[in-house]
Structure 1
């Protein structure tokens, strides 16, 4: 549910181009951002099939998501600067090419390591696509027509968000997981052709410097922290690899903060956080999007591997969440004008916390309408109340000339939150799973070698393949996963409540 990066300035003059070129530019922006956003949801639904086909651990499945999010998060702000300096169409088309070629690499991956690397390259391509989408619209449409064009882009983004998980589930269930990536090939080739022959070129009037040091340090810092969190449950917290990665991640993160304070054109202007409302809005984003991104990563695993849903059903399970957000977005956008931003930013996250808590209620089995539907609906309502006021708060916190930078920073914060949370929540779920699994196996009369076979596979969590004669242990494995899943959802509820408190203490409505 992350928000796309807006153009650097709404006062940018439009390039001289035909009406047909403007329409094709809008199509290209919708197609490019849609590919980048939907790919995450499609792959999320495909992960159980990928894990089974490649005999991968849950850590391996996490890396399939994290390598994409890592490069996208670390390079998102740099991608916008590259477009302003070297040409928005050129950089956008390069992003489409990288994304398309790496999608083919993902589909052809013979093993989990190959897939993780190809997914990282997809993230690199997405980092060039996402900030360029609205910059292209801004450069093609005059100021008085941009609002309508951006509204069209936003509406289609909502439609693709709703279709993505269901389409991904259908492809995985009726064809194979490879099609979750192959579907990008015709879309990517069409996008490249549109950019080449229909989209006008433009550049930023005041393109900033390229913060190479900041980009490298951000990538190293995030990589080290994420590696330590994902690999610690298997290797142990005191293992050399985990310790070195953690030290590298923390050191690079500290160095990143130092560099960003000293250079003239930082990718993350830390001085912006001196504004209390801006800092509060981003802290709220960090907490709430950590809860959202970290928890929803595990929902398809629960539905498919434990509850017995098909991939299509698992993808469709979040439709209430998306539909409610789509339907209420216009109404919630007017809330700020009526009551200010602070009240919705207190109520919305608190309601989202109730949705996360409802996800912790179901056990194994039961009707969707009485188990996961209430959770998805309440979570969707809470996020609907939150997103528009949060975006408005971020955009209004600073002077208009910094609106693009402010929103870009907030977008990056939301993505980093999900990136770190998926890794951290994996630790929480694994601890709950291991404790419940050991207790459950202890109460069964199974041969030692069968028990050992199950324990040796515990890194796969609910994806454990039971040896012949041990089918009785399936219930133990499923309930162990649910025990860990409940811990994750309750932690998400706590983070959402904390974000509500942050809004209450730090967000201030301007005098009207």
Structure 2
């Protein structure tokens, strides 16, 4: 392998390291919430905003940062985002109250958006279409290392050292990423940069913030919450207005933030949609299973991380060879096969019982991971193959915006299904015997129910709470399987049949108009 060829693969390692910093923050935060509640004297609302503030600013920053990267330089933006991530992580560690912590999380969201978008756009710049599927497979697999690593590392640190170190650990990772990126990743920018689209930026930011906030609110308050629906409806209206505004700019010969021509290429549009379905289907595993491991099987955070290792193994097994399989049978067949395997894994998971062992959970999460790796890596390669290098920042931002909105949507839908089923299956006599406040705490969720059962010494209530949660878990996993089936149908019906062999460098690809 030539020095140039070797250098780009080392650069891929730098981009993956950058993404690891973002992934670690999200998984470690969940483990640290109990300590943060005590250390910062945080209310339940504060704890919700510790996560929500990050998600809101992450979603809001995606498209503007993609545009700025295309204009100012993608490597420059990525290095800046990594340094900002390190600084804001330190801000989280040294926050003295909840509002300081939330402010630092807001800045962290902006930095995280820069890392996510610029790292993905870097794959478009660094690798040819023939190399890109393999690069995406390696990148996808490495990104998910944060799923088990976060709880394992966070759990150990919270047990042995000051809680602030769970955020300070991001500082050397981010700074090392910045150094390696500056050394190995070449600078790139659009040869014909767009003028800054202020109107498009405002509409996209407000629309994504409103939709994300509405989904978070629905997840916390339930789908009957009027504010949640108002925010979602208003956000969707703003995003429709945004795309109409961008189309009007393009029709007048001006360069919009997001080129509407991107969405006239069916493989790009449906590739993005399919990535959304992968996210929706698998958030069930990521969001629900740690609760099952800790509430039903009695593990701690580190134990949950260990039990997610089969998911990561499956993901690597599916993502890394996905490009080779796609060259043999075509990307469409690989994406469809991924959804089939994913559906099978989730359906197997829906047979979980209170007494199920690690063998069942390891088997079905591994299957789900294989399906996710096949579909996600291949669909991402399909999308990136249609994005011109000069617009790779914005093209990647659109993909990531859909992916990141899918997470709160999936969590809200599945959380609602789980809670509704859990509440409907609680034994009425067991609740009637409790004082009103204790009954309400029991109905609020499995951890509240288990706490009440332990305090009251009721073995019957303890058993009922666990069985009710497992019933809700199984129903939620059936819904997740439904998302995977929907993705399979969309793949078979709408995704064009693409060539088996990726186009070689210099060969024409499906045209995308770039004004």
Task: Report the TM-score when normalising by structure 2.
Answer: 0.79
Give the one of 332, 341, 348 matched to 2:338: 348
- Superposed, which structure 2 residues align to 1:283-302 within 5 Å? 283-302=273-292
Give the one of 338, 361, 370 matched to 2:328: 338
CA offset digits 1:90-135 (Å, max 9, x no partner):
4223212321222233334566665554333222101122233366
Aligned twin of 2:513: none
Give the one of 472, 476, 479 matched to 1:484: 472
- The answer to whether the Cα contact below 8 Å between 2:57 and 2:109 also exists between their aligned partners in 1 is yes
- The answer to whether the Cα contact below 8 Å between 1:25 and 1:136 also exists between their aligned partners in 2 is no
Give the one of 416, 425, 436 matched to 1:427: 416
Task: Structure 2: give runs of 5+ residues left out of the alignment.
Answer: 501-515
Aligned twin of 1:502: 490
Give the one of 364, 368, 377 matched to 2:366: 377
Q: 1:180 to 1:487 in 2, by over 3 A?
A: farther
- The answer to whether the Cα contact below 8 Å between 2:137 and 2:377 also exists between their aligned partners in 1 is no
- The secondary structure found in structure 2 opposite 1:207 is coil
Measured in 1, the distance between the counterparts of 2:180 and 2:122 equals: 13
Aligned twin of 1:106: 92
Aligned twin of 1:413: 402
Measured in 2, the distance between the counterparts of 1:215 and 1:294 equals: 32
User: Shift of residue 369 of structure 1?
Assistant: 1.4
Q: Is 105-114 or 481-490 further displaced after alignment?
A: 105-114
Measured in 2, the distance between the counterparts of 1:55 and 1:477 equals: 27
Measured in 2, the distance between the counterparts of 1:104 and 1:82 equals: 25
Aligned twin of 2:508: none
Q: 1:160 to 1:329 in 2, by over 3 A?
A: closer
Q: Is 92-101 or 393-402 further displaced after alignment?
A: 393-402
User: Shift of residue 290 of structure 1?
Assistant: 1.5
Give the one of 443, 448, 455 matched to 2:440: 455
Measured in 1, the distance between the counterparts of 2:91 and 2:165 equals: 12
- The answer to whether the Cα contact below 8 Å between 1:45 and 1:169 also exists between their aligned partners in 2 is no
Measured in 2, the distance between the counterparts of 1:300 and 1:267 equals: 39
CA offset digits 1:286-305 (Å, max 9, x no partner):
22211223552222122123
- The secondary structure found in structure 2 opposite 1:265 is coil
Aligned twin of 1:443: 430
Matched, 1:183 2:164: no
- The secondary structure found in structure 2 opposite 1:363 is coil
Q: 1:152 to 1:369 in 2, by over 3 A?
A: same
- The secondary structure found in structure 1 opposite 2:359 is helix
Q: 1:421 to 1:70 in 2, by over 3 A?
A: farther
Give the one of 149, 170, 174 matched to 1:166: 149
Aligned twin of 1:211: 197
- The secondary structure found in structure 2 opposite 1:297 is helix
User: Shift of residue 397 of structure 1?
Assistant: 5.2
User: Shift of residue 502 of structure 1?
Assistant: 0.8
Q: 1:245 to 1:373 in 2, by over 3 A?
A: same
Give the one of 386, 391, 395 matched to 2:380: 391
Aligned twin of 1:12: none
- The secondary structure found in structure 2 opposite 1:364 is coil
- Superposed, which structure 2 residues align to 1:12-411 within 5 Å? 28-44=14-30, 46=32, 63-108=49-94, 115-133=101-119, 155=138, 158-159=141-142, 161-162=144-145, 165-176=148-159, 178-191=164-177, 203-232=189-218, 241-242=227-228, 244-263=230-249, 264-370=254-360, 372-396=361-385, 406-411=395-400
Measured in 2, the distance between the counterparts of 1:327 and 1:208 equals: 40
User: Shift of residue 497 of structure 1?
Assistant: 0.4
Q: 1:60 to 1:398 in 2, by over 3 A?
A: same
Q: 1:96 to 1:248 in 2, by over 3 A?
A: same
Q: 1:98 to 1:337 in 2, by over 3 A?
A: same
Task: Report the TM-score when normalising by structure 1.
Answer: 0.79
- The answer to whether the Cα contact below 8 Å between 2:295 and 2:446 also exists between their aligned partners in 1 is no
Q: 1:282 to 1:183 in 2, by over 3 A?
A: same
Q: 1:229 to 1:112 in 2, by over 3 A?
A: farther
Measured in 2, the distance between the counterparts of 1:252 and 1:292 equals: 28
- The secondary structure found in structure 2 opposite 1:443 is helix
- The answer to whether the Cα contact below 8 Å between 1:70 and 1:219 also exists between their aligned partners in 2 is no
Measured in 2, the distance between the counterparts of 1:152 and 1:341 equals: 15
Measured in 2, the distance between the counterparts of 1:179 and 1:260 equals: 44
Q: Is 336-345 or 172-181 further displaced after alignment?
A: 172-181
Q: 1:443 to 1:115 in 2, by over 3 A?
A: same
Measured in 1, the distance between the counterparts of 2:93 and 2:411 equals: 23
User: Shift of residue 377 of structure 1?
Assistant: 1.4
- The answer to whether the Cα contact below 8 Å between 1:97 and 1:188 also exists between their aligned partners in 2 is yes
Measured in 2, the distance between the counterparts of 1:170 and 1:229 equals: 29
- The answer to whether the Cα contact below 8 Å between 1:293 and 1:422 also exists between their aligned partners in 2 is yes
Measured in 2, the distance between the counterparts of 1:350 and 1:267 equals: 36
Measured in 1, the distance between the counterparts of 2:407 and 2:154 equals: 25
Q: 1:499 to 1:261 in 2, by over 3 A?
A: same
- The secondary structure found in structure 2 opposite 1:308 is coil
